[in-house]
Homo-oligomer: A and B are copies of this chain.
């Protein structure tokens, strides 16, 4: 815990949550890795969620009046790191992506009807949701290019389009879809809107859970390819208003990236701890273990330094968002996005190399992270885009104004 950023509230919760994750969630890792997710979900995870509610730890990011802990981003970030020690930590505490982002969106921008029908049960953990933005035919790095349309017809929108990486669509109750309501608007940033589409809509087609790194997964642990085929929903399902899609996406992504980054730091810390632990006991020969090797020591120290650096940067960025809002922290958010994703992958890689043959097996969680987190340098904007954001901003301060290369 970084004390300077820790509220009294956080301090009172920290050890409890740390122990809970360690004692109750880490032992489930084996199940998560080796059993079908829905099976684990239906039995043990459901039970754990109930437990967390009873313990009063549910949904740390939500306001207290909505059943949460009412933490600011900087406090939530520090808890989020703890939850990330387990691959299902966030899920069990109901602060998992993409639901957490959808909760924030709906909370601020949805109609009362939508709130009642979807937001409340989402906050209560009674259903799940998904977010449908990326399209296979268009580079995700250019967020204003998409082909999905929502056309008005009577009181409805009729949505057509092809999406993928609609994470966790399998088993979700509704999707928030990004679609062009004004595809010819001359302001590219005003073309899209966000609209709620129930999964049981006849126009919603879950094409497949995309096999990713050898695993299609299922339920919450999956990423769907989805077609919207004349999916018809009432116009009141829009979130925020026509043309606000891009703005809402930006608003969502700010804290979303803090969430990812703190999660990655938790994973990195876990991997580092496993690396130290294995190095301290794995014998090379009589009286000599891996930890005696200077190369392993270098990896430990470099990982320690990089994770510390990452954590401070993320907490300072979260603090800035808390104080000054997303927009003011734009550069900080881009900076951590690429910095922390790279730290994550380096640390995981070193941890695997330290574990030798064991490291590539599924006998530890490391191989799971290696596969599941390769995407971190890609999703929510690849490294290259975020670097460009930061550089353009700095160059502008030095008098060079570069148009966005969209």
A134 an interface residue at 8 Å Cβ cutoff? yes
* Inter-subunit contact B316/A312 (CB<8 Å): yes
Interface residues of A in 115-151 (CB under 8 A from B): 134, 136, 138-142, 145
**Within the oligomer, what is the number of copies of this chain?**
4
Among B4, B316, B371, point to the contact of A319 (Cβ < 8 A): B4
State the CA gap A140–B356 with chains docked (Å).
8
* Inter-subunit contact B308/A335 (CB<8 Å): yes
* Inter-subunit contact B301/A362 (CB<8 Å): no
By secondary structure, the A interface counts as helix
* Inter-subunit contact A357/B134 (CB<8 Å): yes
Encode contact with B along A377-406: 1 for CB under 8 Å, 0 otherwise: 111001110111111101101111010011
Among B140, B145, B291, point to the contact of A395 (Cβ < 8 A): B291
State the CA gap A96–B213 with chains docked (Å).
24
Across the A-B interface, the 9 shortest Cβ-Cβ residue pairs? A297-B391, A301-B387, A309-B309, A312-B312, A280-B400, A211-B362, A294-B294, A301-B390, A280-B398
State the CA gap A300–B394 with chains docked (Å).
8
A192 to chain B, nearest CB (A): 16
Residues of B within 8 A of A185 (CB): none
A-B contact pairs, 16 of them (CB 8 A): A136-B357, A138-B283, A140-B356, A141-B284, A211-B362, A213-B213, A213-B360, A213-B367, A280-B395, A281-B398, A285-B405, A294-B294, A294-B295, A297-B387, A297-B391, A309-B339
A79 to chain B, nearest CB (A): 20
* Inter-subunit contact A384/B293 (CB<8 Å): yes
* Inter-subunit contact A391/B338 (CB<8 Å): no
With A300-B394, A301-B390, A301-B391 as contacts: A212 and B2 at CB distance below 8 Å: no
State the CA gap A339–B301 with chains docked (Å).
10
* Inter-subunit contact B305/A211 (CB<8 Å): no
A353 an interface residue at 8 Å Cβ cutoff? yes
List 11 extra interface pairs beyond A213-B370, A301-B338, CB under 8 A. Answer: A33-B211, A142-B285, A213-B362, A213-B367, A272-B394, A279-B400, A295-B295, A302-B387, A304-B394, A305-B338, A353-B378
Encode contact with B along A304-317: 1 for CB under 8 Å, 0 otherwise: 11101110110010
Residues of B within 8 A of A332 (CB): 308
A328 to chain B, nearest CB (A): 13
Determine the residue in chain B with the shortest Cβ distance to A135: B357
